[in-house]
């Protein structure tokens, strides 16, 4: 088949077949993976649900900034880095970025990632397009890689939505200037912005483990809502376990264990132990549940 040859699918008049036709048009030799990836990005980012979730995430820094500016004195306790970020917001608006990420990371960010991940394969199966993707052929490994790439893109988009919204709100509502670090030193705004970028990337990486879990769960069912609910439920369970001291032996193995390690990037010198541990943890979850997703796709007929 040439690159421009049309792919004819059965039931071409149905909405499912029309969606599959668009995807199948990309399933040709050389640009196949690139075309599938472009199609997946459109599928993820053109949905009204995605816009709604990103708008919700963008609203969190607005609400937090307004509350700190007009309804509280911004005081916060020490010890917890999230509270330490909040206590600094009224002195420097850039800290609204760190406070907003701390506020959204425990639940809101992983919840939105869980929704998208749970729908990744189950949504295709429910709509009847998965069979066409595999018949095209897209290849099961390639399909999973493309799906996970779409999830990585969403993790970055969701995190940077929070960060950019917080940066804009912080600049409007609070003073900006040299940024005090957590150990008492100060750095200029330009360097602080670079560290804020690194922190946003670190937070996005923290979501890759739950993205891989959600992708695996999505291969277990053709009911997207069930996959979404299960993935979000696992986030809640992990958060509860991490908050119970009696389960301290499990804490190092939870994908949530080093989520707040990005605070170490606001020290001088930068402490990387927690960040590196988080990278290793997310990579391990990605490999384990990515392999489980592949085994599920390869072992059982999921095209119906």
Please state, in angstroms and rounded to a whole number, the distance separating the CA atoms of residues 63 and 214. Answer: 29
Q: Residue 225 — φ and ψ, nearest 5°?
A: -60, -40
Burial of residue 303 (number of CB atoms within 10 Å: 0-12, 13-18, 19+): middle
- Least trusted range by pLDDT, from 4-8, 30-34, 121-125, 151-155: 4-8
Q: Residue ranges per domain, the chain?
A: 15-299
Alpha carbon of residue 142 to chain centroid = 20
pLDDT tens figures, 122-147: 988 888 777 777 665 557 788 899 99
Does residue 210 carry a pLDDT above 80?
A: yes
Per-residue pLDDT, 189: 93
Per-residue pLDDT, 53: 97
Does residue 236 carry a pLDDT above 80?
A: yes
The percentage of the chain sitting over the pLDDT mark of 70, rounded to a whole number, equals 82
pLDDT tens figures, 237-258: 999 999 899 999 999 999 999 9
pTM for the full model? 0.84
Per-residue pLDDT, 254: 94
Per-residue pLDDT, 28: 38
Does residue 26 carry a pLDDT above 80?
A: no
Average pLDDT over all residues of the chain: 84
pLDDT tens figures, 176-186: 988 988 887 88
Q: Which of 234, 239, 53, 230 is nearest to 158 (CA)?
A: 53
Per-residue pLDDT, 303: 46
Average pLDDT over residues 59-63: 96
């Amino acid at each position: 088949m040439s690159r421009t040859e049309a792919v004819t699918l059965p039931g071409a008049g149905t909405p499912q077949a029309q969606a599959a036709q668009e995807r199948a048009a990309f399933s040709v030799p050389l640009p196949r993976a690139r075309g599938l990836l472009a199609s997946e990005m459109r599928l993820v980012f053109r949905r009204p649900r995605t816009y709604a979730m990103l708008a919700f995430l963008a609203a969190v820094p607005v609400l937090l900034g307004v509350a700190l500016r007009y309804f509280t004195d911004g005081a916060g306790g020490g010890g917890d880095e999230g509270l330490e970020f909040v206590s600094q917001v009224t002195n420097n608006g850039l800290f609204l970025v760190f406070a907003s990420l701390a506020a959204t990371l425990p639940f809101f960010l992983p919840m939105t990632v869980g929704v998208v991940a749970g729908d990744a394969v189950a949504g295709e199966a429910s709509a009847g397009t998965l069979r066409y993707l595999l018949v095209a052929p897209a290849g099961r490994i390639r399909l999973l890689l493309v799906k996970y790439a779409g999830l990585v893109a969403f993790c970055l988009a969701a995190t940077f939505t929070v960060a950019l919204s917080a940066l804009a709100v912080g600049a409007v509502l609070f003073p900006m200037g040299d940024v005090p670090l957590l150990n008492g030193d100060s750095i200029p705004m330009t360097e602080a912005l670079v560290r804020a970028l690194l922190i946003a990337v670190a937070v996005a990486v923290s979501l890759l483990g739950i993205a891989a879990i959600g992708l695996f769960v999505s291969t277990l069912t053709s009911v997207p809502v069930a996959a979404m609910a299960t993935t979000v439920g696992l986030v809640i369970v992990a958060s509860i376990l991490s908050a119970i001291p009696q389960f301290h032996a499990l804490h190092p193995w939870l994908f949530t264990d080093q989520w707040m390690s990005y605070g170490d990037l606001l020290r001088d010198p930068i402490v990387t132990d927690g960040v590196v541990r988080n990278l290793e943890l997310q990579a391990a979850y990605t490999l384990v549940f990515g392999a489980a997703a592949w085994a599920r796709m390869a072992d059982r007929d999921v095209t119906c």
